Amino acid sequence: MQLTKESAYQAIAEFFTEKPFVLFGTGTSCALDINFGMPALERHLRDKLKSGMTDAQTQQWQQVVSALDVGSHDFESSMDFIKDEVLTTRIVELTANFVAHHDNVHAHQIISGVRDWPAGSLLKKLVETLPQADKQLHVATPNYDLLAEYALVRYKIPYITGFYGGFLQRYDWNEAKKTVQSIHKGLGKQRQLPRIVESKHVRLHKPHGSLNTFEWDSHLIECNSWILNKPQGVVRAMITPGTAKYQKLHKDRAQLAEYDSAVGNHTCFLFLGFGFNDSQLVNNAFRKKLEQDQCRALVITRDSNLRIEEWLDKCPNMWLICKQTSSDKSRIYNSKFENWLHIDDKELWRFDDFTSEFLGG
């Protein structure tokens, strides 16, 4: 069966009749600045880890470098060779400082509207169209940067990350949710009980941690003031690249429980700039949802890859919009059809263009 523009557009329109769970990856940040990508981080770590290590640490890092040089591993999987906790902590610090520098360059520009975080307008449209009965849009990311948060501030979209309080914010989703709720008194002659009214908002899950998350006094906390100026002795709550990081995640599964629960409660999934490299976030629960339950999914990303196409082959209701191999124009694919559909007059893999085309700007 041949895929036509009419059938593709109809499927995409039907996708948005349901509220999706949104998962965005480094592609959303790289579209703004390639320094947020893994290649830039790899170059930075190679430069900074040339000295100051024990023999055992040097050996582990050399295994990473060798695997990358011969092309046997990508950057994330090569990091599995790092077992030393001191070296891991150093890599976390180097990673955080590198990302924080570039994050800081763009922060005020995004908040003030001078620059756009590419997926901002799409999230804004999804929040605006939330139903009255369910006013929260679940969004998740493995990204450490706060570009999405800056965009939400710019668009005046309330959001919660699971933290509440003052200078040092504590981790408690129930308390955090109260920040997007207000109490309204009952109206009319009959005395009605006050009611809780919730604002439309984004519930942002960052299971790998963030530039502003730390471990302090045995608690997970969030502190924006420490992003660039972390006090001595404070430990960053960030999970480094590589699948070995999941040992730490499994040790404190509570941080992922909200993410897992949100995935389980959805039947429609939107992936933005996400390359399906992260086996922790697109885990067996996602496999069941997309492959067995045949839930609807839409992937919008600049470039396709083998991992995305493996998922496409096994998930009949998963659609991909990406760039053509020989130009910046669009192509669309779904495994039920024999062909890629080429859209030769639009760049629908760009989130703004997609939003204008399918969601009305």
pLDDT tens by residue, 247-289: 554 445 566 788 889 999 999 999 999 999 877 788 888 889 9
The predicted pLDDT at position 12 comes to: 97
Q: How confident is the model at residue 244 (pLDDT cuts 50, 70, 90)?
A: low
With a cut of 80, say whether residue 240 has pLDDT above it: no
Residue 200 lies in domain: 19-36+116-266
The predicted pLDDT at position 128 comes to: 96
Amino acid at 238: M
Nearest to 305 by CA among 277, 330, 269: 277
CA atoms within 13 A on the CB side of 286: 18
Give a yes or no: residue 138 inside a domain.
Answer: yes
Give a yes or no: residue 179 inside a domain.
Answer: yes
Spatial separation of the C-alpha atoms in residues 140 and 64, rounded to whole Å: 28
- Percent of the chain surpassing pLDDT 70: 94
With a cut of 50, say whether residue 246 has pLDDT above it: no
With a cut of 70, say whether residue 243 has pLDDT above it: no
Give a yes or no: residue 310 inside a domain.
Answer: no
The tally of domains found in the chain comes to 1
Q: How confident is the model at residue 241 (pLDDT cuts 50, 70, 90)?
A: low
pLDDT tens by residue, 3-50: 999 999 999 999 999 999 999 999 999 999 999 988 899 999 999 998
Give a yes or no: residue 95 inside a domain.
Answer: no
pLDDT tens by residue, 145-199: 999 999 999 999 999 999 999 999 999 999 999 999 898 876 666 667 788 888 9
- According to DSSP, the residues that pair with 216 across neighbouring strands are 219
Mean pLDDT (whole number) for 308-331: 96
Average pLDDT, rounded, for the chain: 91
Give a yes or no: residue 283 inside a domain.
Answer: no
Spatial separation of the C-alpha atoms in residues 334 and 318, rounded to whole Å: 6
Give a yes or no: residue 256 inside a domain.
Answer: yes
Asked whether 280 and 246 are in contact (CB, 8 A), the reply is yes
Which range is least confidently modeled, 147-151, 241-245, 288-292? 241-245
The predicted pLDDT at position 233 comes to: 87
Nearest to 45 by CA among 77, 90, 80: 90
DSSP reduced 3-state for 347: coil
Spatial separation of the C-alpha atoms in residues 32 and 103, rounded to whole Å: 11
Give a yes or no: residue 143 inside a domain.
Answer: yes
Give a yes or no: residue 126 inside a domain.
Answer: yes
Asked whether 223 and 166 are in contact (CB, 8 A), the reply is no
